[in-house]
Amino acid sequence: MTLPRIAIAGASGRMGRMLIEASLKDPGVTLAAAFDRPGTPFIGRDGGEFVGQSSGIAISDDARAAIAAADCVIDFTRPEGTLAHLELARELGKSMVIGTTGFSAAEKGVIAAAAKSIPVVFAPNMAVGVNAVFKLLEVAARILNEGYDVEVIEAHHRFKVDAPSGTALRMGEVVARELGRDLDDCAIYGREGVTGERKPETIGFSTIRGGDVVGDHTVLFAGIGERIEITHKSGSRMPYASGSMRAARFLAGKSSGLFDMQDVLGLR
């Protein structure tokens, strides 16, 4: 069977470098291209240089050519860049794995529309462990559906530009759905001043930014006399990268459709 050929967007960034490393380690995929924005200092250099090996793939500033050379493009960049790459993937008939966060509702609609033409895995977190936590939260919310206040606490490095994280929001969405609530109506993003008593139907979010924290997420179910915490902590970005390779393999042979990691892992 032919291995899926992978193109990596934002190749010289923190996540791009990790994706290159994961693709070189994964026997189920082939690194076909790596690209970044024009003017990036690493254009023309071997993509494997970051991980101390030769990949034979030079980082390009030609997104169209890079995507054309692959079967699947993996993108963890910024919303505006991801959407531009998505349009190229749709035009060229390539699949796409999107780990970028911070999209507006309208931008998510653009992704859904593109998935009618090409297969897309779009998830706020590609790590297998995090997606196991999503499933655990479904069970916990069904059990703890009365008398428990729900709070989502997340921490990331100082360079992260969106808040709360996409993973935290998905955690809130999972819990709200199981409780029969709409997160748009019940979410509280931070508190300040005299807020009054906590309304029991709300789901609170707290955001921490600092240092080099890769990503910590905790969902707290606080009742009278007890607290239940479900936590995931990332020690590196490799779980996100490895999950992305799994997603790329999942898309091989599919013609269209919008999927997430729950589909990839068979957790539906």
**Whether 257 contacts 119, CB under 8 Å:** yes
User: Quick check: is 160 catalytic?
Assistant: yes
3-state secondary structure of 154: strand
Residues 113-150: b if buried by 16+ CB within 10 A, e if exposed: ebbeebbbbbbbbbbbebbebbeebbebbeebeeebbb
Q: Cα-flanking dihedrals φ and ψ of residue 218, to 5°?
A: -135, 135
List the one residue out of 154, 132, 149, 248 whose CA is nearest residue 202. 149
The CA–CA distances, whole Å, from 243 to 39, 144, 148, 164 equal: 30, 30, 32, 22
User: Quick check: is 232 catalytic?
Assistant: no
Cα–Cα distance, 116 to 127 (Å, whole number): 25
Cα–Cα distance, 117 to 88 (Å, whole number): 12
Which tokens go with 90?
């749709």
**Whether 8 contacts 18, CB under 8 Å:** no
User: Which residues are paired to 35 by β-bridges?
Assistant: 9, 60
List the one residue out of 112, 76, 68 whose CA is nearest residue 93. 68
Q: Which residue in the list 85, 94, 156, 232 is annotated as catalytic?
A: 156
* CB atoms near residue 78 (< 10 Å): 17
Q: Report the catalytic residues.
A: 156, 160
